A and B are shown apart, each in its own frame.
Chain A
Amino acid sequence: GQNIDQPTEMTATEGAIVQINCTYQTSGFNGLFWYQQHAGEAPTFLSYNVLDGLEEKGRFSSFLSRSKGYSYLLLKELQMKDSASYLCAVRERRGNKLVFGAGTILRVKS
């Protein structure tokens, strides 16, 4: 089975940088996803990591360390529209099942 932990809530200031951490325990790791979900809306894909290291995509970057069971999502130059929930999801090797963490609510203040 899987256990995925993320902070419940975070607050950051417009223009700043914020890092959202995700730790996981799994019997068979086959990739990690980050999704963004605005209140009342569907989750949308942000990033995917399967090898150790940093993946950069514009203002968003995601890091993975498989040996530590750890990932983070880095958001730079925060904007008010980045206020949302950020979901960490781990794909299990067995059955390629995707298991989601409870999500981190990020509030961006001016």
Chain B
Amino acid sequence: EAQVTQNPRYLITVTGKKLTVTCSQNMNHEYMSWYRQDPGLGLRQIYYSMNVEVTDKGDVPEGYKVSRKEKRNFPLILESPSPNQTSLYFCASSLRSGGSDEQFFGPGTRLTVL
């Protein structure tokens, strides 16, 4: 089944404890992206990747890191999480980044930072 998977789905952690949220897609998509979703603000892009070893900042990259060593994986790293990073996170992928290429979303990761 074609899908985007994320792990973990739910995470409660404490300020400053490094964490990684994994994202993997099995559709051979070139483009991958991370979003956070907060009430009233919609989906905001954190980082994106056009292809392997090509990543760039989105609108809200502060406090986050990403890597794209393989085409299928795009992990999101929070080196020192803070309470303002409490949010619902979605990973998405598309064949490429342009035209009518729709983005497929993972199931989401609900992160709480205490």
- 17 pairs of residues in contact across A and B, judged by CB atoms under 8 Å: A4-B42, A42-B90, A42-B106, A43-B43, A43-B90, A43-B105, A44-B105, A45-B102, A48-B100, A50-B99, A87-B42, A87-B43, A91-B98, A95-B56, A97-B58, A100-B43, A102-B41
- Cα distance, A4 to B41, chains bound together (Å): 11
Name A's interface SS: strand
Nearest-CB distance from A102 to chain B (Å)? 4
Interface flags, A33-61, vs B, CB<8A=1, else 0: 10000001111110010100000000000
Contact B107 A96 (CB under 8 A): no
Residue from B44, B90, B97, B104 within 8 A of A96 (CB atoms):
B97
In the complex, B103 has a CB within 8 A of chain A:
yes
- Cα distance, A97 to B47, chains bound together (Å): 11
Q: How large is the interface on A (under 10, 10 to 19, 20 to 34, 35 or more residues)?
A: 20 to 34
Specify which chain A residues have a CB less than 8 angstroms from the CB of B41 in the assembled complex.
Answer: 102
Specify which chain B residues have a CB less than 8 angstroms from the CB of A45 in the assembled complex.
Answer: 102-104
Q: Which B84-114 residues have a C-beta within 8 angstroms of A?
A: 90, 97-100, 102-108
The closest CB in chain A to the CB of B58 belongs to A97
